[in-house]
Amino acid sequence: MKKCELLSPAGNMTMLKYAVQYGADAVYLAGTRFGARKFANNFDDEELVEAVKYAHLFNVKVYVTINTLIYDDEVNDFVEYVKFIHNQGVDAVLVQDLGMIKLIRKIAPQLEIHASTQFHNDGAKTVEFLKTVGVKRVVLDRELSLKEIEKLPKKLELEVFCHGALCVSYSGQCLFSSQILGRSGNRGECAGLCRLPYKLKKNGEVEKKASYHLSLKDLYTVDYVHDLIEAGISCLKIEGRMKSPEYVGYMTKIYRKLIDAHYDGTIYQVTEEEMKNIQILFNRGLTRGFLNGAESSEIVNKSTPNHIGIHAGIYRSNDKKIELVLDEDIHQGDTIRFQEANLGMIINFLYDKKDNLINKSAKNTVAYVDNFLDMTGNGELRLVAKDSLSKEISTLPKRTVPISMIFRAHLNKPMILEVTEGKHAIKSIGSCPQKAQKRPVSEEEMKRQLQKTGETVYSISNIEVEADPDLFINLKDINDLRRTALASLDELRTTPKKVELNEVIDKRKNRLANKTELIVCVDTEEQYEIAQKYSSLVFSSNENLLKKHENINPKYVSPKVKDKSSKYMISHYGSFVDIEKNDIVFTDYMMNVTNSHTVEACLEHDISTVGLSIELTTDRIEKIASKVDASKIAVFVYGKIELMKMKYDPSSSELTELVDRNGSSYKIVKDSHFNYLLSSKPKDLIDEASEFIKMGIGYLRVDFKDETQKECEKILERLHKIIRKE
């Protein structure tokens, strides 16, 4: 039975070493290109080579994230980068772009591919589809419950996040940062707008005080590790490439204990001290997320989006000093936070009641610090960093690789040392032993020299010695033989094997649409009445509306999500498995299609019309249209954008909006499957419609959310005039 893997983050080389030494089975990292954490330090090409060698020395796998969406003008660079990292012996790549998955399969058939959580992996059908395109592992959505995970088919390896930050939106389904600030989360540039304060607006009434309604607590699953493994999970993943090395090391240490205990048939209980350390290293409040079907109120921290540490007592301010009434030990060098004042400090000087400088103050005592913050008032004291804990973690354990040795020494024949760690084997040949004139070398002395592995990564699990009696061997010769063998084993284990790479010849041809048609998505009966006058392609997710008009032909209305009709719009790759040859299928802009290769990949799976990502600029749309059958492309030209798709519900009210610091309002829309956060203003590209028509684009898409019938008619007439003119 294959053991569940522990996968740790590495934002830089120091973090990688902490992850390895504290027991990770694998690490995930990004180079300087195509990674979904653009603002982490990441690894340049030289550092990546070093990282792979270091990890492989300890039998730790390396997965490289190339999980951003790719533009056409980046494809050649992407291909070269894939070749580069494959040649370095990386163990797998994480990808979210379907076109790039198919391209990698053609270029590097042996390279293992993991489908990033950005691919929106939320169910059995997605797992089934990804198997058909050559994916080895699926990183599941964090919104899945344990019961849902248990029901998933185990056709592929399944990976889940077990600890760290949570996104409020389904991964790969967030356009908030992109549409508001032009920084695409799908391109690794997320601005973290979900961590900002918003006022809740219910039935027209706006809260007086803003809260962090979209800022989720951090995930922890220390009491779910056994259940997750039993549910068929192949890998537990720690989030945190932008955290500290100490955080990475300690979380790796804790989850290593929990996984090992499962396979030892025991139960490891995280101690009270360990739980405090977990929180001190970083937490925004802890939650098990959706694993146990938690209510929305249990997974959000509306008070702050920042690290909160642990409760350490209360504080009282005066002009010169701040009195600390302690519920926890504190030390000089620790970092404390005064919660109500929203201020913090490193304790450089700590005083007792008599104003003496002290290094430590125990819980249930009173201590003092200088009030150089000019702080007033009283409140809760929190411990947010512990100097002694950081120092303790930074003293890395020494991880070793067990090896077995067979040493053969026979008279007048070269000595032979065979070494293996189970996967690789080395045979090293030395000098010839002579007959001893005085004292022969004993077997114990031979073993003692062979065991001196020194600063290498190896530890001896077994030594066998086959030696003639009465031999004289210079001990230096045994040392040299051992050093040579271990150095050769290092090289064998860290030198990547040569891989066969294929060249892909692009034979695609462009085709233009003879006529550009309208796609109209509606929410209400009034919108439908207008839309069907301008288009035969009308879609809706309003179930009552669908039911009322299901028999109207040729005009039809079909939902975007989980539709059973033969004519529908899909927003999920899992739906690909249900498509039949003659179905008429359109894809939604939330499929994140940003390059011509992904367009082609969709068409290969019998998609009729591919909706392009709304993150694309006009010039990038033109590049795509010039390389594929443009008559099968749909471009979004008008409508309010679904900025986030959430399982989390920010409010129990049906009539709710979030108001940001600038007064912009975002409506929360609920349906039977998700909660959507809508943009405050519609995206309007109608003035560019003539350009899209000249490109040969087959379809222009319009979305109506809360527009009146009169507004809908005005917009559709405006667009219809452009189409008629062109």
CB neighbours of residue 422 within 10 Å: 11
How high is the pLDDT of residue 374? 92
- Residues contacting 609, CB < 8 A, separation 6+: 519, 585, 586, 587, 632, 633, 634, 698, 699
Asked if residue 554 has a cis previous peptide bond (ω within 30° of 0), the answer is yes
How high is the pLDDT of residue 579? 85
Phi/psi-derived region of residue 205, left when phi > 0, alpha when psi is between -120 and 50, beta in every other case? beta
Residue-range domain boundaries for the chain:
5-166+216-281, 310-394, 401-494, 517-640+682-725
* Dist. CA 666–CA 703, nearest whole Å: 16
How high is the pLDDT of residue 148? 94
How high is the pLDDT of residue 561? 42
Strand 517-522 versus strand 537-540 pairing type: parallel
Q: Which residue in 516, 519, 525 sits closest to 703, CA to CA?
A: 519
* Dist. CA 28–CA 112, nearest whole Å: 14
H/E element, 372? none
Residue appearing with tokens 């894939």:
82
How high is the pLDDT of residue 552? 62
**In Å, what is the CA distance from 82 to each residue of 9, 164, 415?**
20, 28, 44
Whether 245 contacts 195, CB under 8 Å: no
Crossing angle of helices 387-394 and 245-264, rounded to 10°: 70
Q: Which residue in 299, 68, 340, 343 sits closest to 194, CA to CA?
A: 299
| Three-state DSSP state, 457 | coil
Same fold, 5-166+216-281 and 517-640+682-725: yes
Which residue positions in the chain have pLDDT lower than 50? 36, 553-555, 558-566
pTM (two decimals): 0.94
**In Å, what is the CA distance from 39 to each residue of 185, 189, 359, 586, 685?**
11, 7, 37, 35, 31
**In Å, what is the CA distance from 580 to each residue of 277, 501, 549, 558, 570?**
54, 34, 23, 16, 14
Helices within 39-89 (DSSP H only): 45-57, 75-87
**In Å, what is the CA distance from 13 to each residue of 176, 244, 322, 493?**
32, 12, 40, 20
* Dist. CA 610–CA 592, nearest whole Å: 10
Crossing angle of helices 443-450 and 475-494, rounded to 10°: 40
How high is the pLDDT of residue 502? 84
CB neighbours of residue 24 within 10 Å: 30
* Dist. CA 611–CA 634, nearest whole Å: 4
* Dist. CA 524–CA 542, nearest whole Å: 7
**In Å, what is the CA distance from 8 to each residue of 33, 177, 189, 397, 592?**
20, 27, 22, 16, 27
Q: Thinking of the domain 310-394, which architecture would CATH place it in?
A: Beta Barrel (2.40)
CB neighbours of residue 550 within 10 Å: 12
How high is the pLDDT of residue 33? 78
CB neighbours of residue 1 within 10 Å: 4
* Dist. CA 556–CA 520, nearest whole Å: 11
Helices within 27-74 (DSSP H only): 45-57
Q: In the sheet that 366-370 helps form, which strands lie side by side, from edge to edge?
A: 343-346, 335-338, 378-385, 310-317, 321-326, 366-370, 350-351, 357-358
Count Cα atoms within 13 angstroms, Cβ side, for 466. Answer: 11
Q: Thinking of the domain 5-166+216-281, which architecture would CATH place it in?
A: Alpha-Beta Barrel (3.20)
- Residues contacting 31, CB < 8 A, separation 6+: 42, 43, 44, 45, 48, 64, 66, 81, 85
H/E element, 215? none
* Dist. CA 295–CA 340, nearest whole Å: 27
* Dist. CA 9–CA 239, nearest whole Å: 6
Q: Give me the percent of the chain exceeding a pLDDT of 90.
A: 80
How high is the pLDDT of residue 560? 45
**Which two structure tokens, joined as six digits, stand for 385?**
């960093």
* Dist. CA 330–CA 359, nearest whole Å: 9
Q: Write the burial class of residue 503 (CB in 10 Å: 0-12 exposed, 13-18 middle, 19+ buried).
A: exposed
Tell how far CA 230 is from the center of its chain.
23
| Three-state DSSP state, 570 | strand
Does domain 517-640+682-725 fall under CATH 3.20.20.70? My reply is yes
Q: Please give the full DSSP string across 101-135, using - where no structure is assigned.
A: HHHHHHH-TTS-EEE-GGG---SHHHHHHHHHTT-
How high is the pLDDT of residue 35? 60
